[in-house]
Amino acid sequence: MAKPLFCLFLCVLVYFFPIKDSRVIANTNRQTFVSEHQLNELLSNHPSLQGAIAGVSVRSASSGELLYTYNGDTRLTPASNMKLFTAAAALTTLGKDYTFHTDLLTDGSIKWNVLAGNLYIKGKGDPTLLPENFDQFAKELKLKGIKMISGDLIGDDSWYDQVRYSIDVPWSDEAAYYGAATSALTASPDKEYDAGTIIIEVSPNEKMNKTAKVVVRPQTSIINIINKTQTVSSDVTSNIKISRGHGNNVITIEGNIPLKASNLKERIAVWEPTKYALDLLIQSLKKQDIKILGSIKVGTTPEHAELLLSHQSMSLSELLIPFMKLSNNGHGELLIKEMGKVFKGNGSWEDGLEVEQVALTTLGIRMQEIEIRDGSGISHMNLVPANEITALLYHAKQMDWFPTFEASLPIAGNTDKMIGGTLRKRMKNVALKDNVKAKTGTLTNVSSLSGFINANNGETFIFSILLNHLKDEASGKQIEEQIIKILANNEI
């Protein structure tokens, strides 16, 4: 049924959202965009752009008219600006009220406080499962009278395929929180919802020459910590390094930490997030004195298994906050796989990206001009023209889900992490603070910023700035802010 359902979905989208040309090209009779000379001067002569490539597009938010373009049709790497496309596609297909479910099932029955059979935990893509959610599962099992499980405890991640990383993720990113593996059954350490990661906190020992103190949150038995640190005198510079082995969960912490140093906190991705989630459930069962007589393993849930408990995630509209404001890569990849699962019956990047492309076409995007490799923007092989990003934002503005989309964008200068997001420490001056809502993007040699700005004259502009082949991404941020200041002061 998956393919007929997908075809029906495609037809409905095209019928109700007819394709329009996303390029609203300005004509010779338009009023002069007075920022044009300043922008050309900056983009042509800035020292950090010599040998680099800049793509800039500016539209009127009210009409969609293309007011300014500089290499606007040149395909460039967007970094995390790719998340704009993922969010728009997910809202178009799944809808803002969509939720993820995690189920506990059994192929047995409860007799005399014993679950006579296997217990399955079936993940369906929820990236927001926290340790307390596993605790709640265990408490509810105990309320059902279960004190022992005679069979096995089985983690089921078959909702998605078994490909853990998008096609262009280098192995050197595997241990980084932003490169965490994707699984239908996973867990997050806290309410920033970096699924498939743990938090490691390193603090100095009270005594000199002793190893530093290491705390892992949440506690899990799937990792092995090798502590090669030393607490040194306060006049020595800290050089703590945390690394995880390729293809394993051996985490090495090495270096010196001064006696009076502040705690160092770092997020590390785990190898095999399914086993991570399974381990958290085991710990929760132990807290409730629920014993497992069988083995612990990864497998699939039989069709005849009966539902015992189910946990429902926050809505997609809520999930977009950490996804967009904190630029959470894992959420982007899960959303791609979820679109593939729901509309094509297969939770893979290939099928999910196909669904995304159909959705974006209905939003007026020229897919023949774009190369999309993932949902997060972590790939250097993603290619998008700046004009297509501003076209996306203009067409998104016409959709009924736009308030949800807009609310997910980082807001310049707002110091609240879940409001300002990745822009909370940028553009704090009076003219720009709270007047720029935009998605940031950073990769090695790449910086990007796309969104909306309320200019001093009261007009709102849609903009996209894509900077590639930079020697220093920090200089890219400075250039972006110079462009934003020019737009803020524009008078038409």
> Which residue has better confidence, 171 or 202?
202
Extract the tokens encoding 359. 């959705």
Over residues 88-105, the mean pLDDT reads 99
**How far is 458 from 435, CA to CA, in rounded Å?**
11
Q: Which fold has domain 101-164+272-312?
A: D-tyrosyl-trna(Tyr) Deacylase; Chain: A; (3.50.80)
Extract the tokens encoding 492. 């038409």
Over residues 331-355, the mean pLDDT reads 98
To which H or E segment does residue 351 belong? helix 349-362
Extract the tokens encoding 388. 């297509």
pLDDT, residue 2, reads 54
| Burial call 32-54: b when 16+ CB within 10 Å, e when fewer | ebebbebbeebbeebebbeebeb
The single-letter DSSP state of residue 230 is E
104 bridge partner residues: 121, 309
Query: In terms of Cα–Cα distance, which of 292, 296, 302 is closest to 115?
Result: 292
Q: Residue 360: is its pLDDT beyond 50?
A: yes
467 bridge partner residues: 54, 447
**How far is 464 from 391, CA to CA, in rounded Å?**
10
Query: In terms of Cα–Cα distance, which of 382, 298, 347, 342 is closest to 122?
Result: 298
What's the predicted TM-score (pTM) here? 0.92
Q: Which residue has the tokens 């094509």?
A: 344
Task: Give Cβ neighbours of residue 44 (< 8 Å, ≥ 6 apart).
Answer: none
Show me where the domains of the chain are located.
2-98+316-488, 101-164+272-312, 200-267
Alpha helices in 94-191 (DSSP H): 131-143
Over residues 183-190, the mean pLDDT reads 99
**Three-point CA angle 406, 128, 79, nearest 5°:** 50
Of the candidates 22, 60, 80, 408, the residue annotated as catalytic is 80
Active site residue 83: yes
153 bridge partner residues: 119, 296
Tally Cβ neighbours within 10 Å of residue 344: 19
241 bridge partner residues: 254
Q: Residue 473: is its pLDDT beyond 80?
A: yes
What radius of gyration do the chain's Cα atoms show?
A: 25
Active site residue 109: no
Q: Residue 16: is its pLDDT beyond 50?
A: no
CATH class of 2-98+316-488: alpha beta
Q: Residue 31: is its pLDDT beyond 50?
A: no
Of the candidates 60, 166, 183, 327, the residue annotated as catalytic is 327
Beta carbons of 352 and 431 less than 8 angstroms apart: no
pLDDT digit string (tens) for 194-233? 999 999 999 999 999 999 999 999 999 999 999 999 999 9
Q: How many CA atoms does the CB half-sphere of 145 hold within 13 Å?
A: 8
Query: In terms of Cα–Cα distance, which of 288, 342, 340, 335 is closest to 113?
Result: 288
pLDDT digit string (tens) for 40-59? 999 999 999 999 999 999 99
Of the candidates 83, 122, 275, 477, the residue annotated as catalytic is 83
Active site residue 80: yes
Taking every pair of C-alpha atoms in the chain, what is the biggest distance, in angstroms?
Answer: 83
Q: How far apart are the first and last CA of the chain?
A: 54
**How far is 277 from 296, CA to CA, in rounded Å?**
12
